[in-house]
A = this chain, B = another copy of it.
Amino acid sequence: MPEVRYIDAINQAHHLAMEHDDSVIVMGEDVGAKGGVFGATMGLLEKFGEWRVIDTPLAESSIAGVAIGMSVNGLRPIAEFQFADFIHPAFNQIVSEAARMRYRSNNAFGCPVVFRAPYGGSHGTALYHSQSIEAFYAHVPGLKVVAPSTPYDAKGMLLAAVQDPDPVLFLEHKRMYRLVRGEVPGGEYTVPIGPAVVRREGTDLSVFAYGWMLHETLQAAETASKEGINAEVVDLRTLAPLDKDTILKSVAKTNRALIVYEDNRFLGYGAEVAALIAEEAFESLDAPVLRLGGPDVPGVPFAKKLEEWFSISQEKILAAIRKLAAY
């Protein structure tokens, strides 16, 4: 299998989905002529034309709202928010409309829309181009939220999301676009929305992560193993609905849990995972459930030193692993 970058896997999924299903359309700011600011939609306009590859006006609420309307009338839109930070104007459309359409209509209408959002901090992305938004949306029943961490999963889960009868928020940590490579089959395949996966078997403790943090965590686990700490690393992949079993099974084995996430710590996604473990794995816990999250400040500051202060590095993860193992 060819090795490709994360962004290439995303781009491939777009091409395949649009080739195999005329009802799939792509919309967002600069997704056409420019091919997206990260290149996710490169080559689509030339192949599928202006009506299936829509350079929308600069208005996120209508990007979501129009996509919802399209989806109840036979289309399957993939709506790109240029940065996850800019999905906020669409909060009402996504939460009040997309996520509730099926429930409120007692299954009469559904919204098969994929909302794509490049999230997370990269270098120099600062307050408004670095946000993690999963905590806001994973809390919303009726919405599926995924955050694949490998090119293989990115392509397979995006294709699964496009086929899903319900709205899916598809989160891509932008740090991975060019940094993370992996083997990806050329053709169509799906990776189911739902199951988490153990990326590294371990016995001493379990670390739960997703997106870019998964990679930092695997590195830290590698270093820890040289110190004799054998960490299991679980890639959550789907944040909602959450795969409880894989989490509980891992904790039952290791008796120690750490959740790593880049978002602000307070009420971030890790809070739910920690609460779940505290309630349903209580008897097997030999140590407090630890969370390593970003500082509770309004955003990632720009200046290099401030950015480093904010960011969750391998060193910080390793320190947390050591602390948990030593407990």
Contact = CB atoms under 8 A, between A and B. Distances in A.
B291 A275 contact: yes
Contacts of A121: none
Interface in A72-95: 85, 88-89, 91-92, 95
A255 B263 CA distance: 30
B278 A100 contact: no
A48 interface: no
A203 interface: no
Nearest to A143: B298
Contacts of A136: 136, 139
Contact of A100 (B139, B240, B242, B299): B299
B267 A298 contact: no
Contacts of A240: 266-267
Interface residues of A, number: 48
Contact of A88 (B91, B128, B139, B279): B91
Contact of A298 (B91, B100, B299): B100
**Most B CB within 10 A of own CB, among A128, A264, A267, A287:** A267
Interface string A91-106: 1100110011001100
B271 A279 contact: no
A272 interface: yes
Nearest to A278: B278
A297 B103 contact: yes
Interface in A274-295: 274-275, 277-280, 282, 285, 287-291
A240 B290 CA distance: 21
- Give the one of A135, A138, A242, A280 with max B CB within 10 A: A135
A12 to B, nearest CB: 32
A33 interface: no
A272 B242 CA distance: 17
A105 to B, nearest CB: 11
18 contacts: A88-B95, A91-B91, A103-B127, A135-B267, A138-B267, A139-B267, A139-B268, A140-B298, A141-B298, A142-B297, A142-B298, A267-B269, A267-B271, A271-B272, A271-B274, A282-B287, A282-B288, A282-B289
Given A104-B298, A271-B275, A279-B291, 7 more contacts: A61-B89, A100-B298, A138-B266, A141-B296, A141-B297, A240-B266, A267-B267
